[in-house]
Chain A
């Protein structure tokens, strides 16, 4: 007899419908309840979420048996799984994946620490039985995912610098996967925070907006280094608040006057956050969301995870093989003083144009340094190499994300239609274009 396989049932373990769990006590008295997560482990094993000590738990520890009923949201087909309890895991990838999903949901719901996963209960499957009833035939796969994945990877391969790569990633996901809203966030140097460096499909780009590790689906994906996917937001614990509201409420963005609003959808129906991994280090997150529920199934996760892995690899490669060009330097006469005031607050390295917040942190420090040098010498051409070697910028020892910071700075200036621009002039080289009079003001606050 062939061992029962859960493989064809993966879409019934997406958590769209809650599942039913039955157990017995030692006297044979049954107990029945709903369970939030039936997690696919492999064709012969599932993991169930252990969140509370209750009768189900007591029964499980005593009789080590469970029956679970799951339903496929596309075909409405239902299945009974007869399960034997093996063990409870409180660490490792299965636990982290389940915990992260729960944590992401809880975080958006403002219930950090309440929805806590105590363990991932691992079960072997004794039998799988279809529940009699009506089921409709599965819809043909509407998207050729493999072709979309290949096209996305090819579009990324065609990019020769980080700036183009990040933009290609978000645009191609939209074009090839028909995902309305996408963004890439990079991890800040030495800080457990992510900042948005590319986005697509939002009314405002949100470039420079920040998310802390552990906050929301993006922050949890980064912290736990696992993909986080919520496929039916409104049924998954009644997620309703926008991520931007959540982010603001959680203090994820800088204080008043120094905020860049997170561009997320107000009412997302589906979200997925995929960590960008360089070895065992998370260097960023690829994030996608749509207003429609159930857009991201496990097959879409597989496809997007492949794209994310490729994106991470391309980012790492471009950052490594960047030639540090040393070319002739142009100078331009320093413009006359006056015009716009460029204000710098050394405390948080924030920069304001007149009274409007522009950017802070390393990107702010870079802009201040460039503007000062330009004012002193008229110099306009710079290299990333000299920035890396500049101790005054307080860059960490391995400032892998300097390029991402420059992209962030360039896009912020562009968006603000500022009279300062940063233009690429070659790999590792860029030009500061000052189009108006600048007065540099250092604020000692």
Chain B
């Protein structure tokens, strides 16, 4: 996967600086900055977590992300592979989503929200699954994965897709290094 590259990582401090610079015009609302929106839609590794009805943590990987606006992300994932997370979200679980750049020097962030909305996948989601999938594979190839390995991880049945829409309420830098996990506050 993506965080084991030899490339020099960006730092959590750099994330916080970029956040501050790009947040100057915003007014107290949690909005994703342009660079985070770009990262989320760049073929990143997208991971979700939720709390099951039994009170246990569970996780899933998603296939793509579309930013509907700076305050709303649409995450497209396999219904079958993501079932425990989807079920948990339907039961009212809170949600966490981490985006890790596939070729952006380990850069990563996590969003958290009280709720998420589950919707069927739409035709306009499909080109993004393909585009981001290709970027993801390119990122893996850069760090030495074979095409077979990258495609194996990525494999997605487009007939089986579902979407999770999230409005981020808190954002955290998850780029490795001192300060990792720091909240990016509005």
Binding site for B on A (CB under 8 A): 16-18, 20-24, 28-34, 36, 52, 54-55, 65-69, 71, 73, 76, 78, 80, 82, 109, 129, 131-134, 136, 232-240, 293
Residues of A within 8 A of B84 (CB): 80, 129
A28:B61 contact, CB within 8 angstroms: no
Residues of B within 8 A of A234 (CB): 6, 143-145
A54–B181 CA distance with the chains assembled, in angstroms:
7
A76:B57 contact, CB within 8 angstroms: no
B127 within 8 A of A: no
Q: Give 15 new A-B contacts, CB below 8 A, not counting A18-B2, A133-B80, A239-B6.
A: A21-B59, A31-B49, A32-B48, A69-B60, A69-B61, A76-B153, A109-B6, A132-B78, A132-B81, A133-B81, A134-B157, A234-B145, A235-B143, A237-B6, A238-B5
B81:A131 contact, CB within 8 angstroms: yes
B6:A30 contact, CB within 8 angstroms: no
A69:B143 contact, CB within 8 angstroms: no
A34:B100 contact, CB within 8 angstroms: yes
A-B contact count (CB 8 A): 132
B166 within 8 A of A: no
- Chain B residue nearest to A19 in the complex (CB): B1
B145:A235 contact, CB within 8 angstroms: yes
- Chain A residue nearest to B113 in the complex (CB): A29
B94:A28 contact, CB within 8 angstroms: yes
B4 within 8 A of A: yes
A73-B149, A134-B155 in contact; A30/B57 too (CB < 8 A)?
Answer: yes
A32–B157 CA distance with the chains assembled, in angstroms:
24
A32:B97 contact, CB within 8 angstroms: yes
A233–B96 CA distance with the chains assembled, in angstroms:
31
Binding site for A on B (CB under 8 A): 1-7, 45, 47-51, 55-61, 78, 80-81, 83-84, 93-98, 100, 110, 112, 143-146, 149, 152-153, 155, 157, 172, 174, 180-181
Residues of B within 8 A of A293 (CB): 144, 146
A29:B80 contact, CB within 8 angstroms: no
A50–B97 CA distance with the chains assembled, in angstroms:
21
**What 5 pairs across the A-B complex have the smallest Cβ distances?**
A238-B6, A234-B144, A132-B80, A32-B49, A22-B49
Residues of A within 8 A of B83 (CB): 132
Residues of B within 8 A of A36 (CB): 3-4
A29:B96 contact, CB within 8 angstroms: yes
A-B contacts, 26 of them at CB < 8 A, read: A21-B59, A22-B57, A22-B58, A22-B96, A24-B56, A28-B93, A29-B112, A30-B51, A30-B93, A32-B59, A32-B110, A34-B98, A65-B56, A67-B57, A71-B153, A76-B153, A78-B81, A80-B58, A80-B59, A82-B58, A132-B81, A133-B80, A134-B155, A234-B143, A239-B6, A240-B6
A238:B57 contact, CB within 8 angstroms: no
Q: Which of B5, B110, B144, B146 has the most CB of A within 10 A?
A: B144
A179–B48 CA distance with the chains assembled, in angstroms:
40
A234–B6 CA distance with the chains assembled, in angstroms:
8
Chain B nearest CB from A230 CB (Å) reads 11
Q: Which of B3, B57, B97, B149 has the most CB of A within 10 A?
A: B57
Residues of B within 8 A of A67 (CB): 49, 56-59
A71-B153, A293-B144 in contact; A20/B47 too (CB < 8 A)?
Answer: yes
